[in-house]
Amino acid sequence: MNSSTDPPGGPVEPPEAPADAVTSVVAPQLRALRRRAALTLESAARAAGLSPAHLSRLETGQRQPSLPMLLALARVYGTTVSELLGETTADRDAVVRAGDMEPTAAGGWTYWQAGGSGRGMQALRVRVPYGTQGDIVRVHPGEEWLHVLRGRLRLRLGDAVHLLGPGDSAHFDSLTPHRIAAQDADGLELLFVHTLLQSPTAALCLGPVTTPTRHTAGEMP
């Protein structure tokens, strides 16, 4: 029986759109990055929450990808939205010298860039004083890896609470609601590596880069 509408519960595809300059650049990039990741069309589409037919149309320039689609595909391919868009950057130094690491204050924390800027993965050295941002729940795309250098870290992942000491590490999906806090009055220092798909570091993980206002117990900023 023919019908002019999608079957109940079936996927609703966005309307066809003519190819434009952006689409003509993105389409071959999507195909090349999927192949670089050694993923089939079906497995990549499934991981990104798309149908194989839809991903195929994106790769051939028959559909324009939305920003959520680009974010999902960048995460699946282990890259950045900038690379999906075909943007290139000048060569960067592979080595970051200690003397070049300028401290930045963010929500009571202090952090130093320990890796190159503008990459799909960022490495930071972070100093977390006691009683700062401990009630902030973070949820954002990407992955995080933490390694405690000094002090003790109280890490909440979903409903579980973990206490980490010097030398301990944690590696988790950042879509898992998480909280990071110093367990002791002396605070803590840690190495922090994360993938943020070119989103601003401070906005997603460390809070706005401002002069911090001390929060009282139980107050949610």
Q: Which residues pair with 121 in a beta bridge?
A: 195
- Please tell me the predicted confidence (pLDDT) of residue 97: 84
- Please tell me the predicted confidence (pLDDT) of residue 91: 57
Q: With CA atoms as reference, report the closest residue to 29 among 83, 91, 90, 66.
A: 83
Answer yes or no: are the C-beta atoms of 83 and 44 closer than 8 Å. no
Answer yes or no: are the C-beta atoms of 151 and 184 closer than 8 Å. yes
Give the mean pLDDT per block of 10 residues along the chain (221 residues): 42 44 77 87 90 92 84 83 69 76 86 75 89 86 90 96 98 91 96 66 44 35 29
Q: Which residues pair with 166 in a beta bridge?
A: none
CA distance 85 to 66: 12
Is the pTM here over 0.85, yes or no? no
- Please tell me the predicted confidence (pLDDT) of residue 92: 61
CA distance 36 to 79: 11
Residue 10, amino acid: G
Answer yes or no: are the C-beta atoms of 201 and 102 closer than 8 Å. no
- Please tell me the predicted confidence (pLDDT) of residue 66: 83
CA distance 78 to 120: 8
- Please tell me the predicted confidence (pLDDT) of residue 138: 87
Tell me the Ramachandran region of residue 62: left when phi exceeds 0, alpha when psi lies from -120 to 50, beta otherwise. Answer: alpha
- Please tell me the predicted confidence (pLDDT) of residue 89: 54
Answer yes or no: are the C-beta atoms of 214 and 174 closer than 8 Å. no
Residue 71: both structure tokens together: 């974010």
Q: With CA atoms as reference, report the closest residue to 30 among 83, 68, 67, 66.
A: 83
